[in-house]
Structure 1
Amino acid sequence: MQSYWRLHRYPILFAIASILFYASFAYDLVRTDTVKLFMLFGATFFLYYKIMQFEKWNFKFLLVIGILFRLVFLVAEPNLSQDFYRFIWDGELIKNGINPYLYTPDQLMEQGKVVIANMQELHAGMSELNARHFSNYPPVNQILFALSALLGGESVLGSMIAMRLIIILADLGILYFGRKLLQQLNQANHMVFWYFLNPLVIIELTGNLHFEGVMLFFFVWSLYLLAKQQWVWAAPIYAVSIMVKLVPLLLLPILLKYLGLKKSIGFYALTIVGCLALLLPFYSPVFIDNYAETLKLWFSNFEFNAGIYNVVKKIAVTYYEAKPWELIDTYGALITKIVIVITLLITFFRKNQKLPTVITSMVLVLSCYYFLTSTVHPWYVVFLMGISIFSSLRFPLVWSLMVILSYQAYANADYKEHLWLLAIEYILVIGYFIYEMIGRGSKKLYFFKK
């Protein structure tokens, strides 16, 4: 024991300090306290880097502290997002035999009937935006919400703990299949800990109960099966990933050259069948209209932490007297077309015959989408950063640090964003992206060396 302490005393002290910082984050932070938020996040990120610097090959140590960091949040109420109230609401509806895609929370409240447990508390806790819109969470996510509500025993805290445990299990699954995938790609398998110990992952997933990690788990599992040439089994797993969150749907075309035409047709067919099978229990004549309406709102009505969109908006409003509410609708429709074109160009003009190139192409497509879209919540970056671990690109890791700047908006009553902070975020992220694309090789920074 003494010899272990002598060899590992600094990483152990870093881990203890991280636990204390995470505890403060979980139980003694309000999101309007921007200075404290930035300081705590910056401290945990610095310690994360130092731990990886000292112990990147020590699997057991990194596994144990990664689990401990997550368990700190076990009974904490999320303090950076109210979305979990809607998650539990949808789960309670399903548990009581009600399709969550057919009614908005406001509609059910107006009926004046008690249809689920903790109805008043859940409705009061969720944002007005969530309360007045139909659910936009795909079927597998809904099933996990229902499971959490079932395990939670009509208790908000119980449902939160159940969701938290599901998310932690998904991260452990990413660690398991991520190491195997890295071995298949002839890359250092410790690279997966850049995901597993990342403060953004721990805070936004385990802490704030977002399900990007569950989506990533099935996605990485599918990639591993593809690396093993088991595409028949990979397809339904990929379908589950899509049905947790829709993001992997955007990346499907990139597999065309890797699989070849014949296998691609089979893979796409099985994936579509898998998605339809998961959708079937929730289908009703009005489901498609309600879901499409909600998705359209997310693509063309909301803005948060936008990069290029903010530049376009500033120019259009200042010099062309454009109306912001009309601009975002037009911009959303245009960006959808641009991202489709970018995806097709990368699909057909990059040499995607090998899986490492395929994964890099996926990172590029998703990055272009996030750079262009009008809404990039911090937890969105988790999926991008997670798949980048299997590529040679490291700018998403930089983004996982800088995205915290977007939370400054919550310090303002009207959620008004500080454009200079967003400019710093995107200049650093896009700058590092350009550096990696045109300045590769010996000039790579030590921070992200393998």
Structure 2
Amino acid sequence: MTAKYSVKKTPIIWISLFLSLILLYTIFGYHLERTEYFKLISLYVALFFVSFKIVQLNNKNINLLLIISLLARFVFLMAIPNLSQDFYRFIWDGRMIFEGFNPYLHTPDSFLLKGIFPVADAQILYNKMGPLSASHFTNYPPVSQFCYYVAALFAKNSILGPVIVMRILIILADLMTFYFGSKLLKNLNLPAHYIFWYILNPFIIIELTGNLHFEGVMICFFVMSLYLLQKLKWQWAAVAFSLSVATKLIPLIFLPFIFKYLKLKKGFMFCAIVGLLNIALFLPFISSEFITNYAETVGLWFKNFEFNASLFNIAKSIGFNITGHNEIKLIGPIMAVLVIIYIAITTYKSPLKHMRQLLIHMLLVITIYYFMATTVHPWYVSLLLILAVFTGYKFPLVWSLSIILSYLAYASSDNTENLWVIALEYIPVYATFIYEVILKKPIGNTNYTQQISEHSV
């Protein structure tokens, strides 16, 4: 993208845009309820437009864009997350560790239903996290748990204190993503400002910094690993990848591709390092009861939980018309098996000799996985978005905009989803995906860098 204006030529325009950005984020963070769907969507769309124009007008001034990105994040510093209640469970888990409990062995229900209050603000945290979270064992891996513990260590009481600590950790992770992402872009001969389609994206700022989802920490280690892989430092890349997996398990889906990319011996050693380090990180929590609880909790995502699904909703509707029941316990595992088959076939057939091929296949496999998943929370799309930065695909950018429609489920009193709204979210995503991936077929194009430059946002 070539900028038509510079900061010096258009100070009034970009300053107005910057002030508008800060004002919009202030309203979003402090004066919005997630049930105010018209206000929510209006603010979100406005933030996308303003952010796009800021990057467009200043794409040569990386330092300025970074400062704006940081200031936008710091707007949320004192705000209680308003689109997600997951952070209450994060605080609970961190304080459980601080008090000497293993968070994987106890549900909040197991204490509060007996009138036991094991941590500070236990009743508030229990009420706010919701019955679904309170009745299940935690599924957050050890690096995430460490972050929650740090929040408890520095803020033993209150709700806002740990929120601020966790928010600072996520902002620091975004800074590391910027640092290593910028280096990777340079090595791939791609423009430096592409990183801001992630760093300055309102979706990322709101879902990660605003709503305290630790995908930001997971992505930080993931991008570090990609950079080290590209620099042929595969041992350190394995360490960074291990920390990414130990924050959120989802990067495990990429291991077959990395194995093939590194070839047999190095690929085996990479996987071995990832496995051993994750065992070591889980070791302080491991017991036979832990293994049972954790496997049971992870399994729920395939057999019980459903939210904002696309292909699964179609399959579920077909199954309901045939049997008269919601067949999630059958369809969910089938979808998971189909993804595994896709990974196996793709890994076997696809050339993975260059970093660009690895990145593209990573993006496609995680996309297929989420297309077939029973549950797709908005913050999940952040992993697709960072891969889009390095591959030039636009459909994750489209999804980062349309995903806000998933919050309309909270507009009804019983939090039920409207399938027409879900369709409205996914239609532009699938349309862009089909055009870019199937019709254009960019994989294998030898003139990859030129193609990215011509077709990226």
TM over 0.5: yes
CA distance in 2, matches of 1:414, 1:314: 20
Q: Where does residue 368 of structure 1 map in the other structure? A: 368
Residue 311 of structure 1, CA deviation: 1.4
Aligned ranges for residues 221-240 of structure 1 at < 5 Å? 221-240=224-243
Quote how far apart the aligned CAs of 1:408 are: 0.5
Kindly provide the CA deviation profile for residues 328-377 of structure 1, in whole angstroms up to 9, marking residues without a partner as x.
Answer: 11011101111111111121111111111101000000000000111101
Bigger CA drift: 210-219 or 335-344? 335-344
Counterpart AA for 1:322: G
The 5 A counterparts of 1:9-408 are 9-317=12-320, 319-324=321-326, 327-408=327-408
1:439 alignment counterpart = 440
Render the CA deviation track for 1:70-126: whole Å, top value 9, x for unaligned. Answer: 011101111101100000000000011100000000001134333211111111111
Q: Which runs of 5+ in 2 are unaligned?
A: 1-5
Q: TM-score, normalised by structure 1?
A: 0.96
1:372-426 Cα distance to aligned partner (Å, 9 max, x none): 1111010000111112211132210110001001110000111111211211211
> How has the CA–CA distance of structure 1 residues 77 and 267 changed in structure 2, closer, same or farther, with 3 Å as cutoff?
same
Note if contact 1:256-1:347 (Cα within 8 Å) is conserved in structure 2: no
Change (3 A) 1:137 1:448: farther
Cα deviation digits, residues 152-201 of structure 1 (max 9, x gap): 13221110000000000000110000001111222112111110000010
Q: Structure 1: which 4+ aligned runs deviate by more than 6 Å?
A: 444-448
The 1-side partners of 2:171 and 2:429 are apart by: 28
Query: Is the CA contact (8 Å cut-off) linking 2:385 and 2:397 kept in structure 1?
Result: yes
- Checking the alignment, whether the CA contact within 8 Å between 1:360 and 1:392 is kept in structure 2 is no
**SS in structure 1 at match of 2:415:** coil
What is the CA–CA distance in structure 1 between the aligned matches of 2:153 and 2:395, rounded to whole Å?
A: 40
Residues 300-344 of structure 1, C-alpha deviations (whole Å, 9 max, x = no match): 111111111111222222x314311xx111011101111111111
* SS in structure 2 at match of 1:112: coil
SS in 1 for 2:247: coil
TM-score normalised by length of structure 2: 0.94
Letter in 1 for 2:221: F
Give the gaps of 5 or more residues in structure 1: none
Aligned counterparts of 1:61 and 1:303: Cα–Cα separation in 2: 41
**Which residue does 2:3 correspond to in 1?**
none
Letter aligned with residue 322 of structure 2? Y
> Which SS does the other structure have where 1:351 is aligned?
coil
Q: Percent of aligned positions with the same letter in both sequences? A: 47
Q: 1:191 to 1:110 in 2, by over 3 A?
A: same
Aligned to 1:415: 415
Matched letter for residue 79 of structure 1:
N
Distance 1:58 1:311 in 2: 46
Please give the alpha-carbon distance, in whole angstroms, between the structure 2 residues aligned to 1:411 and 1:345: 41
Q: Which residue of 2 aligns with 1:449?
A: 456
The code of the aligned residue for 2:430 comes to: I
List per-residue Cα deviations over 1:201-246 (Å, max 9, x = no partner): 0000111000011000000001111011000111111011001000
Cα distance in 1 between the residues matched to 2:104 and 2:455: 43
Closer, same or farther: CA 417–312 of 1 in aligned 2, 3 Å: same
1:6 CA displacement: 4.3
Aligned-pair distance for 1:447? 10
CA RMSD of aligned residues (A): 1.8
One-letter code aligned to 1:419? L
SS in 1 for 2:288: coil
Distance 1:169 1:445, change over 3 A: closer
Amino acid at match of 1:410: Y
Residue 284 of structure 1: how far off its partner (Å):
1.6
CA–CA distance in structure 1, aligned partners of residues 46 and 10 of structure 2: 23
Aligned length: 445
- In the TM superposition, what is the alpha-carbon distance from 1:9 to its structure 2 partner? 2.5
